[in-house]
Amino acid sequence: MLIDFSTMKPAEAYFIMTQSVIPRPIAWVLSENDGGDYNLAPFSYFNAVASDPPTIVFSVGMQQDGGAKDTTINLGKRPRFTVNIASVEQLPVLNQTSATLPYGESEVDANAVKLAKVEGFDMPRVADSKIALLCERYHVQKVGNRDQMLFFGEIKSVYVADDCVETTDKGRLRILAEQVRPLARLGAGEYAGFGELLFAKRPA
């Protein structure tokens, strides 16, 4: 079956894309509201894009009414944010934070999400996330016909839970994916948990 995007409306194309570009990591983005509390929202158009400087990108669409989402507003005013990597166990609360709330109403407060301070960084992280990328806005770019916003963030440091990291025989840090149990996004209301861990040595 060949699916021709030229015959589709944007919403239909989105539905097919989110079912075919799978699995996708989830950026659970914490940003600061004007009042000093926090917005927390998941985005699954997300990935790492560079190592020098360490850079990630995530994409934020528009509200149904055409207005900017809270994350877009917040990161336009304040450059620092935290990308939390959700574990399988966090799916219920992550899903709840995807609900649309009035601007300035905190998903953190509405869902009793606990935050933790990070030494040397002026934004907190989600307390029970195993990994958090502590980022600063690097570049913002509009794409598409409806002002989809690409936020590039320079990773200043990474928090990893102590039970999710080890030092190899060669002295390198290894993050234990089986301990993190990262949550992945599929299509519609579907998510993927952490399955079998596969290994393949890169050929010389």
pLDDT digits (tens, 9 = 90+) for 167-178: 999 999 999 999
Rounded Cα distance between 177 and 184, Å, is: 13
Rounded Cα distance between 96 and 100, Å, is: 9
CATH number at residue 102: 2.30.110.10
Cβ atoms 27, 199 nearer than 8 A: no
pLDDT for res 146: 81
Residue 104 lies in a domain: yes
Residue 3 lies in a domain: no
**Could you report the per-residue pLDDT of 13-54, keeping only the tens digit for each?**
988 999 999 999 999 999 999 999 999 999 999 999 999 999
Retrieve residue 158's tokens.
Answer: 């990474």
Residue 158 lies in a domain: yes
Rounded Cα distance between 45 and 185, Å, is: 9
Residue 154 lies in a domain: yes
Residue 6 lies in a domain: no
Q: Report the domain count for the chain.
A: 1
Rounded Cα distance between 26 and 87, Å, is: 10
Residue 7 lies in a domain: no
Domain, as residue range, for 72? 22-192
Rounded Cα distance between 58 and 63, Å, is: 16
Residue 12 pLDDT grade (very low, low, confident, very high; cuts 50, 70, 90) = very high
**Could you report the per-residue pLDDT of 102-151, keeping only the tens digit for each?**
988 999 999 999 999 999 999 999 999 999 999 999 999 999 888 899 99
Is residue 64 over pLDDT 80?
A: no
Is residue 9 over pLDDT 80?
A: yes
Rounded Cα distance between 31 and 80, Å, is: 7
Residue 155 lies in a domain: yes
Cα–Cα distances (Å) from 56 to 62, 69, 120, 154, in that order, read: 20, 19, 20, 7
